């Protein structure tokens, strides 16, 4: 191939000159540019004035804040504990902090493909037990804290992370069941996914909180946090099963046929050949489901649990700091956005990696 042909194939990187040209080039673009510049600069000036110049950062009373006229970050300073930990006893704050750090650390570790080994599953199980013990106490040195006192970040992080981890094996079973040759199994799994996906999470949470205690023995003393966790797992499993099924369908038939012709039994064909590939293809979709589940965790407030958003609503609900909605919602929204955005960037990077490797 001649050099000319190669240079024609190489994609031109947009230069600054070209970018500037698009800002003004057909003349209506110039109008949009000027209008947008005016709106953005006005907005930025107002935002900086509110959030920095007129804002109160030091410890202050609500009246100081109202006098200053800007954002009242002192509110967050005074009420961070309610937003982050709900009504957990203040002298025990290190326990929810440790739980959140533990779960987040393991979550980050699970993001690296080199660490995808069997011990990761054991680490998750250990973390689940460990954080439950750490949060509820009962051991010497760890005073009992009933789940009714739990709240804030540990609930948001724990319920969404454990939810997805517990839903994963269940959803693999369901996805495999939908491809089963056994008619009853296939129909059951199909029906499960269709029904759960047709229901709002809020309704599922209500079902869990009213029906679960009645369906289990011993008069059904199921803790509210556990009910929410079960509802989230059952709900996310249907969505994850759909993601994994699309991964399974993307694995070429030749793969399982080749494995079968090597003499592998059906179970091993799935476990060693089809599932690893399907999982890789489905991973971006799985992470997107995880993002949705983080956002969905805010709904647990409907059965009386206090997550981060519920904590923020609680922090400004009493008479003292009433009216500082903007600061509280901005802080919580920024936290959710940052966490979910990082995850979605990661999912997009994985997608590109896999696409490149498959070429």
Partner 1 sequence: MISRTRLHGLVFVATATAIVMWLSFNFSANLAARGMTIDFGFLSAPTSFPIGESLIAYSSGDTYLRALTAGLLNTIHLALSSIVLATVFGIAVGLAARIGHPLLTSAAKTYVEFTRNVPLLLILVVCATAVRGLPAPRQAWILFDGVILSSRGLYLPMPVFSGGWALGIAAVILASTTSVVWKWSLRGRSRLGSFPFASRISLTFCVAGFASLVVWICLTTSMDWPRLTAFNFRGGWSVTPEYLAMMFGLGFYTSGFIAEIVRGSLAAIPKGQSEAAASLGLSTLLSLWLVQAPQAIRLTLPPLANQYLNLIKNTTLAVLIGFPDLVSVGNTALNQTGRAIETVSIYLLIYLSLSLITSMIIRRLERRAQVVKL
Residues that bind partner 1 (CB under 8 A): 19, 22-23, 29, 32-33, 36, 180-185, 188, 195, 197-203, 206-207, 210-211, 213-217, 219-220, 291, 294-296, 298-299, 301-302, 309, 313, 325, 329, 332-333, 336-337, 340-341, 344
Q: Which is nearer to partner 1, 122 or 337 (CB)?
A: 337
Contacts of 89 (CB under 8 A, 6+ apart): 143, 145, 149
Cα(133)–Cα(96) distance, integer angstroms:
11
Q: Which is nearer to partner 1, 133 or 340 (CB)?
A: 340
- Closest approach, Cβ 213 to partner 1, in A, equals 7
Residue 167's nearest CA partner among 196, 129, 130 is: 196
- Closest approach, Cβ 314 to partner 1, in A, equals 12
Q: Which is nearer to partner 1, 140 or 219 (CB)?
A: 219
Cα(267)–Cα(201) distance, integer angstroms:
33
Residue 68's nearest CA partner among 78, 48, 54 is: 54
Q: Which is nearer to partner 1, 113 or 197 (CB)?
A: 197
Residue 332's nearest CA partner among 78, 158, 152 is: 152
Cα(169)–Cα(34) distance, integer angstroms:
54
Residues 37, 39, 40, 42, CA torsion sign: positive
Q: Which is nearer to partner 1, 148 or 301 (CB)?
A: 301
- Closest approach, Cβ 95 to partner 1, in A, equals 26
Q: Where are the beta strands (DSSP E) in 209-332?
A: none
- Closest approach, Cβ 246 to partner 1, in A, equals 13
């Amino acid at each position: 191939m001649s050099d000319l042909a190669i240079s024609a194939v190489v994609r031109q990187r947009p230069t600054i000159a070209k970018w500037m040209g698009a800002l003004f080039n057909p003349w209506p673009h110039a109008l949009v540019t000027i209008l947008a510049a005016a709106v953005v600069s006005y907005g930025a000036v107002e935002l900086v004035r509110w959030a920095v110049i007129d804002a109160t950062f030091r410890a202050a009373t609500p009246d100081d804040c109202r006098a200053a006229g800007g954002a009242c970050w002192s509110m967050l300073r005074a009420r961070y504990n309610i937003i982050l930990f709900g009504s957990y006893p203040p002298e025990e704050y290190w326990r929810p902090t440790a739980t959140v750090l533990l779960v987040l650390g393991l979550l980050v570790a699970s993001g690296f493909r080199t660490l995808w080994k069997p011990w990761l599953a054991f680490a998750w199980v250990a973390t689940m037990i460990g954080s439950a013990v750490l949060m509820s106490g009962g051991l010497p040195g760890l005073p009992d804290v009933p789940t009714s006192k739990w709240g804030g970040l540990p609930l948001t992080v724990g319920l969404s992370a454990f939810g997805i981890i517990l839903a994963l094996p269940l959803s693999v079973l369901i996805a495999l069941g939908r491809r089963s040759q056994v008619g009853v199994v296939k129909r059951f799994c199909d029906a499960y996914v269709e029904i759960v996906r047709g229901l709002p999470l809020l309704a599922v949470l209500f079902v869990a909180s009213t029906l679960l205690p009645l369906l289990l023995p011993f008069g059904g003393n199921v803790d509210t946090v556990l009910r929410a966790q079960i509802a989230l797992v059952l709900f996310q499993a249907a969505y994850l099963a759909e993601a994994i099924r699309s991964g399974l369908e993307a694995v070429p038939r030749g793969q399982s046929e080749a494995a079968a012709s090597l003499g592998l039994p059906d179970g091993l064909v799935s476990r060693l050949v089809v599932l690893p590939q399907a999982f890789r293809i489905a991973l971006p979709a799985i992470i997107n489901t995880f993002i949705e589940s983080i956002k969905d965790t805010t709904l647990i407030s409907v059965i009386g649990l206090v997550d981060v958003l519920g904590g923020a609503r609680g922090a400004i609900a009493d008479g003292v700091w009433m009216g500082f909605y903007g600061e509280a919602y901005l802080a919580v929204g920024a936290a959710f956005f940052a966490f979910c955005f990082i995850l979605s960037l990661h999912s997009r990077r994985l997608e590109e990696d896999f696409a490149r490797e498959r070429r």
